[in-house]
């Protein structure tokens, strides 16, 4: 039985997705022979309520100088981070010369707003290529993993931070105790940590099993997040649901007793109690829903293939790797995947080796169906692909259920 990464108790995984490649391991044909696989298995620890991967991939295999994910590819996400930055400036930056540090700052999509107002800032980003993009935009960035040693170095050089930020990064870090300890070192006594990640409640309610992949070591709820930070003298003082990434939660954390705890924290705890995030049966039910969802999607794609319809994937997202490999999708069923990221184009998807092609190949010859792997960007994508619809094209989505639109 695996040992919980948070409380060190032993727990029983509730589901395996089988042999899985790296979610962002887009590759060339020459790299097929050396492709890395692990078993994607997820478990729930009844002692501390943390949902987590049972087998972890070495972070250096995932976040490196060729990390193909640039945050700024989505205009919706750019707007979201603009709003996030505005909220921080309005509500949480109270000193005269504030200092903001963001972990996992990627290409600077959020910090650019602080840089633009001449607010002291520092991005911490271990993936060299995306960090470089931020530096080119004039955003102070260092290319390292966020840990206690780094926190001490930052304090020595620039002092403690008023605000620490993290978006879609905390759930990637296996050693969260080290992060929480680093937060204690780096954060001013009256400071705040704000971070957001996909929310377990949404993942369960929407059967959004594609949120589960190597980079997401954890699936947070306010229950598990509170447990973790309480070990380090920190507490959750507010929670704010976010519509991004298919349903995220923003947690506001402060040193215990330094700020008022919002009613929203209690309300979310009650919602989680109702949903049963504390109970093993909930995860058994989730597993059954996932299996049903897979069967429906495979049945639909096979039927379309038999009818001679063309199906093309839309957006080679990290999440798609779980769906494609778990459902056993191949280029027989999904001809290619259209994606706007140059670093992915001309390559093949991890595991199943479906070709990834530039968006113009989608528009040049519209398929009958587009399988929306970027379902979390549905509004943005469907909004700009009116012509596909007008040409008789249909969308296939699989979250919260398999559906043709
Ligand atoms: P993510 O869901 O893992 O954030 O990845 C988003 C991917 O989707 C990224 O490779 C870019 C791609 N994408 C498109 O190809 N077209 C789009 O309109 C959007 C919003 C994203
Ligand atoms: Zn635990």
Cα 53 from Cα 77, distance rounded (Å):
26
Residue 262: how many other CB atoms lie within 10 Å: 15
68 confidence band (pLDDT: 50, 70, 90): low
Which tens digits make up the pLDDT trace of 314-351? Answer: 999 999 999 999 999 999 999 999 999 999 999 999 99
Which residue puts its alpha carbon closest to atom 7 of ligand 1?
A: 317
Nearest CA, atom 2, ligand 1: 317
Rounded mean pLDDT, 186-196? 97
Q: Confidence class of residue 58 from pLDDT cuts 50, 70 and 90?
A: confident
What's the rounded mean pLDDT across residues 51-76? 80
Where are any strands of DSSP class E within 29-137?
37-44, 51-53, 99-103, 120-124
pLDDT at 49: 97
* Lowest mean pLDDT segment, chosen from 72-81, 104-113, 179-188: 72-81
Average pLDDT estimate for 33-44: 97
Name the phi and psi angles at 112, rounded to 5. Answer: -60, -30
Query: Above 70 in pLDDT, residue 378?
Result: yes
How far apart (Å, rounded) are the C-alpha atoms in residues 101 and 111?
9
* Ligand 1 atom nearest residue 75's Cα: 20
Give which of 226, 106, 225, 102 is closest to 164, Cα–Cα: 102
Instruction: Quote the CA–CA distance of 302 and 284 in Å, as a whole number.
Output: 27
- Which three-class secondary structure state does DSSP give residue 193? strand
Q: Which residues pair with 252 in a beta bridge?
A: 194, 238
CA 315–ligand 1 middle distance (angstroms)? 5
Pocket flag, ligand 1, residue 74 (CB < 6 Å) = yes
55-64, 206-215, 328-337: least confidently modelled range:
55-64
Say whether pLDDT at 63 is over 90.
no
User: 292 Cβ partners below 8 Å, 6+ apart?
Assistant: none
Query: Is the C-beta atom of 73 inside 6 A of ligand 1?
Result: yes
pLDDT in tens, 306-315: 999 999 999 9
Please tell me the distance between residue 331's alpha carbon and the centre of ligand 2 in angstroms: 40
Q: Any idea where the domains of the chain sit in the sequence?
A: 71-259, 282-404
Give the chain's mean pLDDT: 96
For ligand 1, atom 20: residue with the closest CA: 74
CA of 278 to the centre of ligand 2 (A): 12
Residue nearest to atom 19 of ligand 1 (CA): 74
Q: Which is the closest atom of ligand 1 to the Cα of 339?
A: 15
Identical fold, 71-259 and 282-404: yes
Question: What pLDDT is stored for residue 196 in this prediction?
Answer: 98
DSSP 359: H
CB 77 near ligand 1, within 6 Å: no
Q: What are phi and psi of 266, to 5 degrees?
A: -65, -40
pLDDT tens digit sequence for 111-153: 999 999 999 999 999 989 999 999 999 999 999 999 999 999 9
pLDDT given for residue 270 in this prediction: 97
The CATH class that applies to domain 282-404 reads alpha beta
Q: Is the CB of 317 under 6 A from ligand 1?
A: yes
Task: Determine the Cα–Cα distance for residues 53 and 57; give it in Å rounded to an integer.
Answer: 10
Q: Is the pLDDT of residue 65 over 90?
A: no
Q: How far apart are CA 166 and CA 147, in angstroms?
A: 13
The hierarchical CATH code for the domain 71-259 is: 3.40.50.150
Tell me the β-bridge partners of 37: 21
pTM: 0.94
């Amino acid at each position: 039985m695996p040992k919980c990464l948070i409380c060190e108790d032993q727990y029983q995984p509730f589901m395996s997705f089988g042999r899985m490649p790296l979610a962002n391991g887009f590759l060339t044909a020459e790299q097929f022979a050396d492709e890395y696989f692990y078993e994607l298995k997820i478990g729930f620890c009844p002692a501390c309520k943390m949902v987590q991967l049972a087998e972890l991939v070495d972070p250096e295999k995932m976040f490196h100088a060729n990390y193909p994910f640039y945050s700024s590819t989505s205009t919706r996400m750019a707007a979201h981070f603009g709003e996030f930055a505005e909220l921080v400036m309005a509500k949480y930056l109270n000193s005269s010369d504030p200092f903001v540090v963001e972990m996992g700052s990627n290409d600077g999509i959020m910090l650019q707003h602080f840089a633009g107002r001449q607010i002291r800032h520092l991005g911490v980003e271990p993936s060299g290529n995306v960090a470089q993009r931020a530096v080119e935009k004039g955003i102070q960035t260092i290319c390292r993993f966020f840990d206690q040693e780094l926190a001490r170095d930052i304090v020595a050089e620039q002092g403690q931070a008023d605000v620490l930020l993290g978006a879609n990064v905390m759930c990637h870090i296996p050693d969260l105790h080290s992060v929480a300890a680093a937060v204690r070192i780096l954060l001013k006594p009256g400071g705040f940590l704000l971070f957001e990640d996909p929310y377990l409640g949404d993942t369960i309610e929407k059967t959004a099993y594609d949120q589960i992949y190597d980079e997401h070591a954890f699936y947070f709820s306010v229950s598990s997040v509170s447990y973790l930070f309480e070990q380090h003298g920190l507490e959750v003082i507010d929670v704010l649901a976010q519509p991004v990434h298919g349903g995220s939660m923003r947690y506001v954390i402060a040193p215990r007793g330094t700020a008022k705890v919002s009613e929203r924290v209690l309300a979310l705890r009650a919602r989680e109690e109702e949903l049963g995030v504390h109970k093993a049966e909930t995860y058994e039910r989730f597993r059954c829903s996932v299996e049903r969802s897979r069967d429906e999607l495979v049945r639909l794609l096979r039927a379309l293939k038999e009818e001679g319809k063309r199906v093309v994937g839309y957006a080679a997202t990290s999440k798609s790797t779980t769906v494609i490999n778990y459902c056993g999708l191949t280029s027989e069923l999904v001809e290619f995947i259209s994606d706007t990221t140059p670093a992915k184009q001309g390559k093949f998807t991890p595991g199943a080796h479906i070709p990834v092609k530039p968006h113009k190949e989608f528009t040049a010859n519209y398929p009958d169906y587009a399988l929306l792997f970027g379902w979390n960007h549905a509004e943005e994508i469907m909004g700009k692909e009116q012509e596909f619809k007008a040409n008789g094209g249909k969308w296939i989505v699989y979250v919260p259920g398999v559906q043709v639109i």
